[in-house]
Amino acid sequence: MKILIPGGSGYIGRQLSASLVNDGHEVVILTRGQRRAFPPPLAGEGQDGGLRDVTWDARTPSGDWVDELAGAQGIINLAGANVGSGRWTRQRMAQILSSRLAATSAIVQAIEATPTDRRPSVLLNASGIDYYGNRGDDIITEDGEPGDSFLARMSQQWETAALKAEPLGLRVVRMRTSMVFGRGAPAFNLLTLPVRLFVGGPLGSGRQWFTWIHVDDIIGLYRFGLENERLSGAVNAVAPDIRRQVEVAKEIGRVWHRPTWFPAPALLLRLALGTQSQLLLDGRRAVADKAKAAGYRFQFGGLRQALEEIRRR
| DSSP string covering 87-116 | ---HHHHHHHHHHHHHHHHHHHHHHHHS-G
CA distances from 310 to 107, 271, 305 (A): 34, 32, 9
253 in a domain, yes or no? no
42 in a domain, yes or no? yes
Q: What is the DSSP string of 185-209?
A: -HHHHHHHHHHHTT----BTTS-SE
pLDDT at res. 45: 42
CA pair distance 111, 285, nearest whole angstrom = 35
135 in a domain, yes or no? yes
Phi, psi angle pair for 214, to nearest 5°: -70, 145
The CATH number covering residue 233 comes to 3.40.50.720
256 in a domain, yes or no? no
**Alpha-carbon dihedral angle through residues 239, 306, 215, 199, given to the nearest 10 degrees:** 100
Range of the domain at 151: 2-180+211-238+285-299
22 in a domain, yes or no? yes
Neighbours of 71 (CB within 10 A): 13
191 in a domain, yes or no? no
CA pair distance 209, 215, nearest whole angstrom = 20
**Alpha-carbon dihedral angle through residues 203, 204, 210, 214, given to the nearest 10 degrees:** -20
CB 312 within 8 A of CB 255: no
CA pair distance 195, 1, nearest whole angstrom = 42
How much is the mean pLDDT over the chain?
A: 92
Overall domain count for the chain: 1
CA pair distance 159, 126, nearest whole angstrom = 8
16 in a domain, yes or no? yes
**Alpha-carbon dihedral angle through residues 4, 212, 298, 231, given to the nearest 10 degrees:** -50
Give the bridge partners for 298, in sequence order: none
Spans in the chain with pLDDT lower than 50? 40-48
31 in a domain, yes or no? yes
* DSSP code, position 32: S
